Structure formats: structure tokens, C-alpha cells
Amino acid sequence: MTKEQWEDLLKVIRGEIPPKPVTGFIIDSPWIPGWAGISTLQYYASETVWYAANKKAVETFPDVIFLPGFWSEFGMCTEPSAFGAKLVWNADNLPHAGKVIRDISGAGSLSVPNPKTDGLLPFIIQRLVNYQKILQESGHEVKFAIIRGPLNIASFLLGTTELMTGLMMDPGNSHQLLETITRFSIDWIAYQKEMFPSIEGILLLDDIVGFIGEAECKEYAVPYIKRIFNSLDSKINFFHNDAQGLISAPYLKEMGVDLFNFSFEHSLKEIRDLAGDEVALIGNLPPRDVLAAGTPAQVDEETRKMVREFGDKKRMVWSCGGGMPPGVPTENIRAFKKAVDEAVPEL
């Protein structure tokens, strides 16, 4: 991410209206390899391929902010690998992390991983270290520490069904599991900051928050996510949850969230009313059915409709409702950007 792009995000967070509308997308391995004409496995296995693909994206769309920017990642395997999960790789699909414990009663068997030595985490750091000078010479910096959310990580270590059952039936072990994950998360963020002092933000991604009820959200999501966001003197706390977001939206400010990416199934107005005026939003065009599957004309029409229906420029990053999905073509991103640039000034 460039200094100018970071400053644009800060302006949005502060409630300022930038001279031009800010457009941004979360991009990572679900979209980049296919768009760049490489396999998913190539993207993970070669740091030169990874760099070239990300460089191509930022150069093709210089006026779009790609978040978090040159993301060093191995899909959902990143954090589970530190806990010893078995990792299954495929040439053209996302990798999968196997379970580490059989049921919630095994929470006590897990120790807090060391992010400096365990799993894939050293490789994530080293990739960025190897390219740090090149990134800086091209005007980019590492600005976000990145972590999957505690419930998301727990669902991989235990299984989603088993986690949901545990939250309802065994609060003690559920809290123990989330405590271990949270301590690891804070350590991992601190290590990223140690290695890259340019980091000034946190990106936390947790779709499982959208699978639980209000009582469970208050007990199992809010306090742990709040601790993670508060672990760093961050200028932007960016929360991604593109599952159901209505339950968590009223608690975003309490969790310390500055920027919220959510499901396209919720309107911008709906989330604004629940989250309040102080939380910036990033969304929320349907990612698969419009941005990926639509024609440029359809993207243009639906984007202008989205802008008109929301009717507000303040604390808004225009995007899709979630991360960039597979199959989004170049012309559709350009159609989206053009529509935003023309429609927003008319509000």
C-alpha cells in the first residue's frame, strides 16, 4: 500500500470527504492467481510469482486500494499451521487445514504457538522481508498486521459444528480455547509489528462471528476481538465478516472497529444504522453474482444503484460485500471504479 492510499483510508476513518471517492477491495489467493493466469499452488510456492501477481494487480488498477496490500498468506492454513494442523494442498483450489482436537474437551491440550518459529508463520514473514526493499522502492509499505479472528481459527482447529456445540454446551473449555488463540493472536500481531515498524493497522477476519446469536457474540466474540484490536496502538482496526453481520454490527465500536467489511445481503443503510456513524464501511456490491458473473454494463448499473440507495459519502470505501471472489475480470473492476467515480459526486 502506498503512503497516499494509507492517507486516503485515514481520511475516511476520520470522517473527512476525500476529493475523489475511495475504492478498495480485499484481494488474496481466491482471486489473484486466476486473474493473473497462474495456479493457486504456484502462487503459494513461489515468492517471485506471488510478487509478480500482486505487482500486476496494483499496476493495472493504480487508483484502487488493494487491501491489505501485498498480502503474504497461505489461505486459511496460515494460523492453524502454527497449532500443528495437517495441511492439504491442491493445484487450483484453496488449501485446507485439518482439525487439531477432536472435541471441545481437548482445548486444554493446546499450547500457545510461537509465531517466530511455528508453522508457516516464519515463511510469511520471510517473504515480506525478502521483498521489503523492492516494495519500498516502488512506493509501498507493509501497513497492516493480519490475523484470522479467534472464532475463525477455533473452527479450523476443532470443526465448525463442534465449535458451535462447544459454545453452547461447554463454556469453560470454549473460553479456554479462545483464550489460547487470543494470546497467540496478540503475539503474532506483535511479531509482525516488530519485523515491520511501518505497520499501523490491524486486519482481523472472522466469518464465524456471523454464525452465532447475540448472547454468544457478547460472550465469545466481543471481548476477545476487543483484546486483539487493543493489543496494538493501531490507527485503523479493520474487521471483515461477510457472513451475517446484523448481530455483531451494534458492537463494532465496543470491539474497537474503525472499518467494517460485511455481507452484500445487508444494505449499507442497514449496517450504518446498527453500527453508528463513527464506523467506516467498506462494501457492498454482490461479489459473485454481480462483480464476478455480471457484464460491465450490469456492474455499472448495480454500482450506481448501490451508491444512490445509500446516498452518503461519509466514512465510505466503495467495494464489494466481502473479499474479491474468484473470476472477477479486469473490465468489471474498471466498470465498478468508473461508476463510483461518476455516481458519488452526484450525491
Q: Please tell me the distance from the alpha carbon of residue 218 to that of residue 56, in angstroms, as a whole number.
A: 42
pLDDT tens for each residue of 283-304: 999 999 999 999 999 999 999 9
Q: Write out the residue range of the structural domain in which residue 147 sits.
A: 3-346
pLDDT tens for each residue of 35-54: 999 999 999 999 999 999 99
pLDDT at 15 over 90: yes
pLDDT of residue 249: 96
Q: Please tell me the distance from the alpha carbon of residue 79 to that of residue 76, in angstroms, as a whole number.
A: 7
pLDDT tens for each residue of 68-90: 999 999 999 999 999 999 999 99
Average pLDDT, the chain: 97
pLDDT tens for each residue of 203-213: 999 999 999 99
The CB density around residue 130, as the number of other CB atoms within 10 Å, is 13
Nearest partner of 313 among 19, 64, 3, 61, judged by Cα: 19
pLDDT tens for each residue of 223-241: 999 999 999 999 999 999 9
Instruction: Supply the CATH number for residue 245's domain.
Output: 3.20.20.210
pLDDT at 105 over 90: yes
pLDDT at 244 over 90: no
* Domain total of the chain: 1
pLDDT tens for each residue of 148-176: 999 999 999 999 999 999 999 999 999 99
